[in-house]
Amino acid sequence: MKFETKAIRGQIDRTQYREHSVPMFLTSSFTFESAEAMSETFAGERDGIIYSRYSNPNTSELIKKVCAMEGAEAGFATATGMAACFASIAPFVSMGDHVLASRAVFGSTHRILTQILAKWGVTYTYVDPQDIDDWEKHIQPNTKIIVLETPSNPGLALIDLEKAGKIAEKHGIILNVDNCFATPYLQRPLDYGAHLVSHSGTKWMDGQGRILGGIVAGRADLIDEVIAFCRHTGPAMSPFNAWILSKSLETLAVRMDRHCENALKIAQFLESQDVVNKVFYPHLKSHPQYDLAKKQMKAGGGIVTFEIKGGSEKAMQFLNKIQLCSLSSNLGDTRSIVTHPSSTTHSKLSEAERLAVGITQGMVRISCGLEHVEDVIGDLRQALS
Ligand SMILES: Cc1ncc(COP(=O)(O)O)c(C=O)c1O
């Protein structure tokens, strides 16, 4: 079955009412026909649903779809993307272990590594996402997991997944990829040797700015550990959000096709503007990793980043002149969104830390929505003028 069909037909079994569209299972717990059935289910001797912190038909459907899309053996759905990031790292490290991470990870992932895990005696080393040939020398005997994100937020730097997969295999280390920016429609890290992928379902997966959610998918034995961690620490996704997300996945492919088409046109428009210094978009020929982007991403994604001439002052002026697009920190919505990373999403980083991942004062990020692209370009044109 092709991607689109799996996304639509990966539905759980119908109830006795033979509903066409899957219902919501808004229940915290489930019942048993006998004491024996209950104790056998608790002991794992028979299949059954016990409690929605563990599993629920709506989350099971969502997990099944994401696993089919990513080529994963198993998964677990979490309340937010950050819960998925944390649950895909924390079960695999103990005091004294080490994490190798791309320097260009999402701000809250950076906090997990530098503040939360660091407090628990887990060390980390940041490596340059674009210099993967340098990574191996930072692997230590106690390195348990490699954490990366590609394309990165907001600089859209890519990491060569095939090379990362080979390094992880050679050293017997878990490779964990945050695949939120690309979605499984555009990129499948497990095909290149990753063992785990995490997602913020809040972004392109929902695609309509309605709910928070996350998912971890990957190799079954690793997901068993993620499940054990999550069952007892409690970051489960609500059945309502799982229902929304599962429905959203039915249209992921068509939405991403249009997001990518619009983003490429917006990137090309920006490249033609005198007041723009640089435009970053993976499938733009001028992207320094264009060949890699073509190899590992089906299309360039919905985010375009550019640098306006005149630094922070001009970037702020541009944002203040925007009329149609929204000023918001989110991304992956039907509505186009403009953000100034250095004063918002990445304001907690020092200037040196920002520059190390390519975030300049004049950088603006656009999450390209599904409005008519000419209207979005019209808004950007008038704001740049
Ligand atoms: C790459 C990436 N990973 C994880 C997250 C966290 O997702 P959530 O906001 O759903 O917790 C985000 C949020 O922007 C993100 O951009």
More confident residue, 72 or 355: 72
Q: Is the minimum distance from the CB of 85 to ligand 1 under 6 angstroms?
A: yes
Specify burial of residue 352 (Cβ count, 10 A radius: 0-12, 13-18, 19+).
exposed
Residue 331 alpha carbon, nearest atom of ligand 1: 14
Residue 329 alpha carbon, nearest atom of ligand 1: 14
Which pLDDT tens digit goes with each residue over 320-347?
Answer: 999 999 999 999 999 999 999 999 988 8
Q: Is the minimum distance from the CB of 106 to ligand 1 under 6 angstroms?
A: yes
Instruction: Report pLDDT for 353.
Output: 86
The most confident of 79-93, 101-115, 343-357, by mean pLDDT: 79-93
Instruction: Provide the percentage of residues in the chain whose pLDDT is more than 70.
Output: 100
Q: Is the minimum distance from the CB of 153 to ligand 1 under 6 angstroms?
A: yes
Which of 147, 186, 203 is the best mutation target for the ligand 1 pocket, counting ligand atoms within 8 Å of the beta carbon and taking the most?
203
What is the distance of C-alpha 136 from the center of its chain?
25
Instruction: Please give the distance, rounded to the nearest whole angstrom, from the Cα atom of residue 379 to the centre of ligand 1.
Output: 27
Q: Return d(Cα 4, Cα 1) in angstroms, integer.
A: 8
What average pLDDT does this structure show over 43-68? 96
Residue nearest to atom 10 of ligand 1 (CA): 81
CA end-to-end distance (rounded Å), the chain? 48
Q: Is the minimum distance from the CB of 164 to ligand 1 under 6 angstroms?
A: no
Instruction: Report pLDDT for 194.
Output: 98
pTM of the model: 0.96
Query: Where along the chain do its domains lie?
Result: 3-248, 252-384
What average pLDDT does this structure show over 272-298? 97
Q: Is the minimum distance from the CB of 202 to ligand 1 under 6 angstroms?
A: yes
What CATH number does domain 3-248 carry, 3.90.1150.10, 3.40.50.150, 3.90.380.10, 3.40.640.10?
3.40.640.10
Residue type, 320: N
What is the distance of C-alpha 54 from the center of its chain?
23
What CATH number does domain 252-384 carry, 3.90.600.10, 3.40.50.300, 3.90.1150.10, 3.40.50.2000?
3.90.1150.10
Q: What is the mean pLDDT of the chain?
A: 96
What φ, ψ does residue 304 adopt, rounded to 5°? -125, 135
Which of 86, 156, 202, 365 is the best mutation target for the ligand 1 pocket, counting ligand atoms within 8 Å of the beta carbon and taking the most?
202
CA angle 26, 29, 30 (to 5 degrees): 100
Residue 180 alpha carbon, nearest atom of ligand 1: 1
Which pLDDT tens digit goes with each residue over 141-194?
Answer: 999 999 999 999 999 999 999 999 999 999 999 999 999 999 999 999 999 999
Instruction: Report pLDDT for 345.
Output: 86
Instruction: Please give the distance, rounded to the nearest whole angstrom, from the Cα atom of residue 371 to the centre of ligand 1.
Output: 23
Instruction: Please give the distance, rounded to the nearest whole angstrom, from the Cα atom of residue 16 to the centre of ligand 1.
Output: 38
Instruction: Please give the distance, rounded to the nearest whole angstrom, from the Cα atom of residue 274 to the centre of ligand 1.
Output: 33
Residue 312 has pLDDT above 90, yes or no: yes
Instruction: Please give the distance, rounded to the nearest whole angstrom, from the Cα atom of residue 106 to the centre of ligand 1.
Output: 7
Residue 82 alpha carbon, nearest atom of ligand 1: 11
Q: How many Cβ atoms are within 10 Å of 273's Cβ, its own excluded?
A: 16
Instruction: Please give the distance, rounded to the nearest whole angstrom, from the Cα atom of residue 231 to the centre of ligand 1.
Output: 21
Q: Is the minimum distance from the CB of 82 to ligand 1 under 6 angstroms?
A: yes
Q: In this structure, are residues 96 and 144 in contact, taking their beta carbons and an 8 Å threshold?
A: no
Instruction: Please give the distance, rounded to the nearest whole angstrom, from the Cα atom of residue 46 to the centre of ligand 1.
Output: 36
- 51 — pLDDT class (breaks 50, 70, 90): very high
Q: How many residues does the chain have?
A: 385
Instruction: Please give the distance, rounded to the nearest whole angstrom, from the Cα atom of residue 294 to the centre of ligand 1.
Output: 24
| Neighbouring-strand partners of residue 127 | 102
Q: Is the minimum distance from the CB of 212 to ligand 1 under 6 angstroms?
A: yes
**HEC secondary structure over the chain:** CCHHHHHHHCCCCCCCCCCCCCCCCCCCECCCCCHHHHHHHHCCCCCCCCECCCCCHHHHHHHHHHHHHHCCCEEEEECCHHHHHHHCCHHHCCCCCEEEEECCCCHHHHHHHHHHHHHCCCEEEEECCCCHHHHHHHCCCCEEEEEEECCCCCCCCCCCHHHHHHHHHHHCCEEEEECCCCHHHHCCHHHHCCCEEEEECCCCCCCCCCCCCEEEEECHHHHHHHHHHHHHHCCECCHHHHHHHHHHHCCHHHHHHHHHHHHHHHHHHHHCCCCEEEEECCCCCCCCCHHHHHHHCCCCCCEEEEEECCHHHHHHHHHHHCCCCEECCCCCCCCCEEECHHHCCCCCCCHHHHHHCCCCCCEEEEECCCCCHHHHHHHHHHHHC
Identical topology for domains 3-248 and 252-384: no
Q: Is the minimum distance from the CB of 80 to ligand 1 under 6 angstroms?
A: yes
Q: Is the minimum distance from the CB of 333 to ligand 1 under 6 angstroms?
A: no
